[in-house]
Amino acid sequence: MKREPLCPAFDLDKAARAGLLGQRPAVLWFTGLSGSGKSTIANAACNELHARGKHTYLLDGDIVRTGLCRDLGFSAAQRVENIRRAAEVARLMVDAGLVTLTAFISPFRSEREMARRLFAPGEFLEVFVDVPLAVAEQRDPKGLYRKARRAELPDFTGIDSPYEAPASPDLRLDAAGRSVAFNVGRIIDAMEVAGLLSPPDGPRRP
Amino acid sequence: MKREPLCPAFDLDKAARAGLLGQRPAVLWFTGLSGSGKSTIANAACNELHARGKHTYLLDGDIVRTGLCRDLGFSAAQRVENIRRAAEVARLMVDAGLVTLTAFISPFRSEREMARRLFAPGEFLEVFVDVPLAVAEQRDPKGLYRKARRAELPDFTGIDSPYEAPASPDLRLDAAGRSVAFNVGRIIDAMEVAGLLSPPDGPRRP
């Protein structure tokens, strides 16, 4: 499944691009219920990484749904295809040298594993944004749970479509009991432990 | 059709990311027959831009066909969807602050115009890699024209599927009569004239 370098025919590779950026490319794959705080925490993590001079991109479910995946709905098969495309784009972004944060519900374990297999070992961190369903439903920032409970939104994760919580994520964030700032600190710590905030191995910025 | 910023809810935007990179994001959209030299010239242009400290990514048709678009064939409708997805990914890459080079046959004028409309004015340069069909067919680096002439490869551009040459591309490269190095020079010149090699407007790298 793993295919790298993506294009051996080209002179520049991931290492050359990451070297110019002075960083290690990686993907932080946020998963969790709607309303768990994935995008909020990922956005705050981007700010912190940007302040540290890291070049990031936040690939958000809502953005992808209005562009790349706007032909897809929310059936199980279409959710799988949504995550497949998102993972392929994240792979291109990482190949471009970026620290890529993805914020997708990504409810199925098999699709998250599919995503992981596109990356080199150590390059993919699964970040489980964990809140009880009751908390997410009470927050309901987009009013989606209310709609789902009225059966106006079929196949809604946590209501009538399953969320398969990660059994052993690289990082589990308590997004009900802890602040966004605290959770961003945990992400930075995890990246440091994983060596992702160290200088790259390849050639450096001149 | 144009939608920016891509996500107003996030703190970092294209200008902030481009500022950190110290460059102006853009897309160079290469179009031309199979065998015209799109990937070769784009690869050489990436080398030149990289040497100038520009952060680039080359989005190549062959790569996308093995990943993001591996569910698609070569019918007219599937070619349209292939280009739609490629354009959406290029838009995300440009939003990430990168100078993005795309190398797709992209045979239909309407899809190239669709791609252009995803970008801000001045951000999208259409680069027509122009060779006579006879030259591309004689080169035939992948043996595809031979297969197409034997009817083993249906819907092949230039043979039994049309190539609609750009009427007024931002740049037309004579890829039969001129060297790769010469054409890279013309690309750099065109980028300079378009202001794409100037420092960005936004906040600068600290």
CA distances from A93 to A36, B112, B118, B183 (A): 25, 23, 19, 27
B203 lies in a domain? Answer: no
What does the pLDDT read at residue A204? Answer: 54
Q: Residue A202: which pLDDT band, with cuts at 50, 70 and 90?
A: low
B25 lies in a domain? Answer: no
Q: Residue A4: which pLDDT band, with cuts at 50, 70 and 90?
A: low
- The answer, for B7 touching chain A at a CB cutoff of 8 Å, is yes
- The answer, for B55 touching chain A at a CB cutoff of 8 Å, is yes
Secondary-structure percent of chain B, ordered helix, strand, coil, rounded to 5? 40, 15, 45
B4 lies in a domain? Answer: no
Rounded to 5 degrees, φ, ψ at A23 are -150, 170
> Is the per-residue pLDDT at A169 higher than 90?
yes
CATH number at residue B82: 3.40.50.300
What does the pLDDT read at residue B4? Answer: 53
What does the pLDDT read at residue A1? Answer: 40
Of A13, A39, A66, A23, the residue nearest A196 (C-alpha):
A23
Catalytic residue list of A: 106
Burial B169-198 (b: 16+ CB within 10 A, else e): bbbbbebbeeeeeebbebbbebbeebebbe
- Residue A146 CA to chain centroid, in angstroms? 26
Give me A22's structure tokens. 């002075």
Question: Does the predicted model carry a pTM greater than 0.90?
Answer: yes
Q: What one-character DSSP code corresponds to residue A166?
A: -
Domain span including residue A60: 29-191
B154 lies in a domain? Answer: yes
A101 lies in a domain? Answer: yes
What does the pLDDT read at residue B8? Answer: 65
> Is the per-residue pLDDT at A2 higher than 60?
no
Report ipTM (2 d.p.).
0.91
Residue of A nearest to B67 (CA): A88
| Amino acid letter, residue B131 | V
What does the pLDDT read at residue A123? Answer: 95
Which A residues 120-179 touch B at CB under 8 Å?
none
Average pLDDT over chain A, rounded to an integer: 92
A120 lies in a domain? Answer: yes
What does the pLDDT read at residue B1? Answer: 40
- Tokens 């409810």, located at residue: A107
Total number of domains in chain A: 1
Of B10, B21, B53, the CB nearest to A58: B10
B143 lies in a domain? Answer: yes
Residues of chain B with pLDDT under 70: 1-8, 202-206
CA distance B6 to chain A (A): 7
A52 lies in a domain? Answer: yes
Of A43, A50, A97, the CB nearest to B20: A50
User: How far apart are the C-alpha atoms of A197 and B5, rounded to whole Å?
Assistant: 28
- The answer, for A97 touching chain B at a CB cutoff of 8 Å, is yes
CA distances from A157 to A34, A77, A104, B105 (A): 7, 14, 12, 39
